[in-house]
Structure 1
Amino acid sequence: MIKKLEKQRILILGGSGFIGNAIYKELLPYFEVHCTYCKQYGAFAENHVFHNFCAEEDSMFLLLNKIKPTIIISAIKGDSKSQFEAHQQIVNYALLNASCLVLYISSSEVFDGQFKLPSYESDPTLAVSVSGKFKISVEKLLLEIIPSQTAILRLPIVLGINSPQILHLRQCIRHQATFEVFPNLVITATTINKVCQQIHYIINQTLVGIFHLASKDMVHHEDLFREITAKIGDKMPIFKSVFSSNEDRYNAILPKGNKLPNQHQITVAQVIEECSLNEEIISIK
């Protein structure tokens, strides 16, 4: 564990995105929080703790030395080469600041080349997608050079009443439009609220290592969205079944060797319940 500091200054890279912005709102009441947004998100320019940063154009070195964060949360997107160079600068900064903790938001894509079984924290990564291979490269960079300062947070599909997938599902229900489901794909899931709570706990406890922030159980992709739809109401979208194999394929990450306490875990049933809440949907800005 990294020694706690009295005052933590957090920098969220990608604070204008769905996940990054939710983390910002979770942590803001408790820490000094700064975020980045890329220039196309001009609405964030009025917020003085949001800093304009595009990995393809701007210097991560200058940003870090301006803000001097004690915790860096990377949820940034963009060009792979620029992103990797930015993470190299993060590593260099962390080497000079031994109390700095780096949380990297990764995903189940690091296992998308391994589809016969669910994957656990200690399993070797294997990806076939460009995105999965890139995430593996960043994980490897952090874990090899600053392992005692790194928390790798692998996420499954992240849902919630304001998540892009659930908003899309509701639109498809409303307009009787096509919604794609994958009957032979076995997945784990979570909600954005649970992810934010888990990250808050990891920060408070200054935990490092690899974490699978996913449900404790698995579900077929089609069953998940059919159950959410049934709980939302009586109307249904047009479910379009997409088959990539005649047999079940796994895109499921499960927590095993690095579990968080029970109150910070989640089940598929809880994901379904939260996603089907019939309350006013407030857009994340």
Structure 2
Amino acid sequence: MERLNILWTTSDKDTAVNMLAMYAVNAKKKEWWDEINIIIWGGSAKLVAEDTEVRELVAGMIKREISIEACKACADRYNVSDIMKEMGVDVMNRVLVLGASGLVGKALVEELGSNYDVYGTYHSNGWSYERLFRLDINDMESMKSILDEVEPDMVISCMRGDFEKQINLHMAVAKYLKKNGGRLYYCSTANVFDGDVSKPHHEDDETEAESVYGKFKIRCEKELEKILGNDLIILRLPMIWGKESPRMSKLLKDIGEKNEVEVYSNLYLNNNVDVILSRQIHYIIENDLDGIFHLGTEDVMTQHDFIRELVDRLGFRGVELKVSTLPGEKHFLAVLPSRRDMGEEFRIFNEDIIDCLSECR
């Protein structure tokens, strides 16, 4: 006898009838299923599973006997994904994106949505994605509640906010993942090297920061690694652009208002864009890679040259650049990739970034 297990999460009886029927009708099209079993979890799982009216309504719609059972994992706080896999049910891993309303977070939600069960948090600027939770960084209980409800297999952090409160929140997330099993993908920054700007830096270079921000990020990296070990994946990011990024919006606004565009002639950077970055992170997750990653272009350009070429490629003429210099002959703030386990398609250069952004006008 062939048996089909349908996995679904529900929160109320009325929604359950319609949604379960939809899944069951689709399953009925596969004529080889002799038996259809629906496994549910969520706040009302037990109530719905034991309600004979629900079962009769759904069975009546598909003209076939079904069984509905509540997942024990809901009450016992076991890892639902592991239990379902043991029962022969294909389950998408659950991803929680901290800071899902920001540039990088939003790109990640859109990129990962087809392969993972993706949830996100926001502070004040939510968007139309339905699986968003409002997270108050001042309220640790809200973070714990979100973790308990989502039960993520992995968390990607690209959030912003008060440094000390971020530390406390990330420690809570790390301890949850350590206890329940899971990975943390932590977005760090090139500023972990801003104490040594004499050269660009690679993944195995010793961190050295001068700025408060850089020191904060180093502290996060080290504290999280103490808890999670190899289950912490550090993603160091350079300048991140995007067609709707604050950097791009400001550049276009300054040009439109005929303001001077401020640049440094001796600041050497590498760059990335949100859509390419999200694909890189997807690849890292999908291929179970670990360690430290520098996710940017393999070359550096001065800020002056990058902006000048971008402005020209956008088709603007006569744009004034206000050129300044930083102390020293060359000032590097670049995290160059040296790993070769990412695939050739992810070897990117500044020209690729300019190509991508040149369609923004």
TM-score normalised to structure 2 length: 0.72
Counterparts of 1:80 and 1:240 in 2: how far apart (Å)? 32
Tell me, yes or no, if structure 1 residue 254 matches structure 2 residue 343: no
Within 5 Å, give how 1:161-240 maps onto structure 2: 161-240=243-322
Residue pair 1:172, 1:238 contacting (<8 A) in 2 also: no
Answer yes or no: is the 8 Å Cα contact 2:120–2:133 preserved in 1.
yes
Structure 1 position 190, deviation (Å): 1.0
Distance 1:236 1:186 in 2: 24
Q: CA deviation at 1:77?
A: 0.9
Q: 1:20 aligns with which of 100, 105, 111?
A: 105
- The correspondence for 1:97, drawn from 158, 177, 180, is 180
Structure 1 letter corresponding to 2:264: F
Among candidates 168, 180, 185, match of residue 85 of structure 1: 168
The count of aligned residue pairs is: 272
Shift of 1:278: 4.8
Give the Å deviation of 1:90. 1.3
Contact residue 175 and residue 227 of structure 2 kept, 8 A: no
Q: Give per-residue Cα distances to partners, 1:174-204, cap 9 Å, x unaligned.
A: 2211211111111111111110110110111
Distance in 1, matches of 2:272 and 2:318, equals 23
The alpha-carbon distance between structure 1 residues 47 and 274, as it changes in their structure 2 partners (threshold 3 A), is closer
Q: 1:146 aligns to what SS in structure 2?
A: helix
The answer to whether the 8 A contact 1:10-1:34 is kept is yes
Cα contact 1:15–1:21 (8 A) shared by 2: yes
Q: Percent identity?
A: 31
Instruction: Check conservation: 2:98, 2:120, Cα contact below 8 A.
Output: yes
Partners of 2:156 and 2:129 lie apart in 1 by 19
Instruction: Give the match's secondary structure for 1:94.
Output: helix
Indicate which of 95, 115, 122 corresponds to 1:37.
122
Q: Which residue is equivalent to 1:270?
A: 352
Residue 335 of structure 2 aligns to a residue whose secondary structure is coil
The residue that corresponds to 2:225 in the other structure is: 143
Evaluate the alpha carbon distance shift between residue 171 and residue 235 of structure 1 in structure 2; reply closer, same or farther with a 3 A threshold: farther
**Bigger Rg, structure 1 or 2:** 2
Paired with 1:17 and 1:172, the residues of 2 have a C-alpha distance of 22
- Structure 2 distance, partners of 1:278, 1:204, is 30
Partner of 1:71: 154
For residue 60 of structure 2, what is the aligned residue in structure 1? none
SS at match of 2:265: coil
SS at match of 1:119: coil
Q: Secondary structure at the match of 1:216?
A: coil
Any unmatched runs of 5+ in structure 1?
280-285
Who is 2:327 aligned against?
245
Distance 1:240 1:85 in 2: 41
* Structure 2: distance between partners of 1:62 and 1:28: 22
Q: 1:219 to 1:184 in 2, by over 3 A?
A: same
Contact 2:272 2:353 in 1 (8 A): yes
* Distance (whole Å) between structure 1 residues aligned to residue 292 and residue 236 of structure 2: 8
CA distance in 1, matches of 2:359, 2:208: 36
Aligned to 2:19: none
CA contact (8 A) 1:56 1:78 kept: no
Alignment match, 1:128: 210
Q: Give 1:114's aligned residue.
A: 196
Q: Tell me the amino acid that sits aligned with residue 166 of structure 1.
A: M
Gaps of 5+ in 2: 1-81, 86-90
